[in-house]
């Protein structure tokens, strides 16, 4: 079934001023004064990310994949996720994807396919995410960054999807990628 393109409109928001209130190597936080679509004046906070979010679903010939477990500081919880990280806006995303897969799992892949593009939280941030499927895998040594204390777990893709459906996997990029890949493979 071929879907019709959904309608779009021009931007109804009118930016009046923008003030950067915080910046670090990963993001900038802005407070904007805007005229909203209804004509009222609003204050809008927005986060401008300096990297792409890059997620990778490694998939072997038996439809096994790898998850990475780590404690996430901001939500203050342990999280199981697909391998992922930041990719510089100045570097081809696939180069960043290959680096992240090697760093976090030790895997390299000969076959790469972009699975999807997404916006992580488009009401407050401009962050874009790309998710790749990596196939024809070879195992090697991990290259964890200083900020990473990771556990790597190999499991069937079907089990990873079950962990999404049970609520054990809560990371949005992981959920979107695993569910889409499962839908495509069915």
Q: Is 27 exposed, middle or buried (0-12, 13-18, 19+ CB in 10 A)?
A: middle
Which residue has better confidence, 178 or 122?
178
Q: Rounded CA gap, 173 and 176, in Å?
A: 5
Q: What does the pLDDT read at residue 1?
A: 76
pLDDT band at 149 (very low <50, low <70, confident <90, very high): confident
Query: Do the beta carbons of residue 44 and residue 139 sit within 8 Å?
Result: no
- Any idea which of 7-11, 41-45, 100-104, 182-186 has the lowest mean pLDDT? 7-11
For residue 148, indicate whether it is catalytic: yes
Question: What is the bridge-based pairing of β-strands 84-88 and 77-81?
Answer: unpaired
Domains and CATH numbers, the chain: 14-49 (no CATH), 51-185 (3.90.79.10)
Determine which one of 23, 139, 145, 148 is catalytic: 148
Mean pLDDT (the chain) is: 94
Query: Residue 26 contacts by C-beta under 8 Å, 6 or more apart in sequence?
Result: 49, 50, 51, 86
Q: Which tens digit of pLDDT belongs to each residue from 37-91? A: 999 999 989 999 999 999 999 999 999 999 999 999 889 999 999 999 999 999 9
pTM higher than the cut 0.75 = yes
């Amino acid at each position: 079934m071929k879907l019709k393109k959904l309608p779009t409109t021009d931007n109804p928001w009118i930016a009046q001023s923008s003030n950067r209130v915080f910046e670090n190597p990963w993001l900038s936080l802005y407070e904007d004064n805007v005229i909203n679509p209804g004509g009222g004046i609003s204050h809008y906070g927005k986060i401008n990310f300096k990297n792409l979010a890059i997620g990778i679903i490694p998939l072997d010939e038996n439809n096994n994949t790898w998850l990475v477990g780590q404690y996430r500081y901001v939500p203050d919880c342990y999280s199981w996720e697909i391998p992922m990280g930041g990719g510089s806006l100045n570097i081809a995303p696939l180069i960043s994807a290959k680096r992240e897969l090697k760093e976090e799992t030790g895997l390299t892949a000969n076959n790469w396919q972009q699975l999807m593009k997404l916006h992580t939280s488009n009401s407050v941030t401009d962050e874009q995410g790309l998710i790749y499927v990596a196939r024809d895998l070879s195992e090697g040594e991990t290259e964890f960054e200083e900020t990473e204390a990771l556990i790597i777990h190999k499991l069937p893709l079907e089990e990873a999807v079950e962990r999404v459906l049970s609520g054990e996997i809560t990371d949005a990029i992981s959920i979107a990628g695993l569910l889409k890949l499962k839908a495509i493979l069915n």
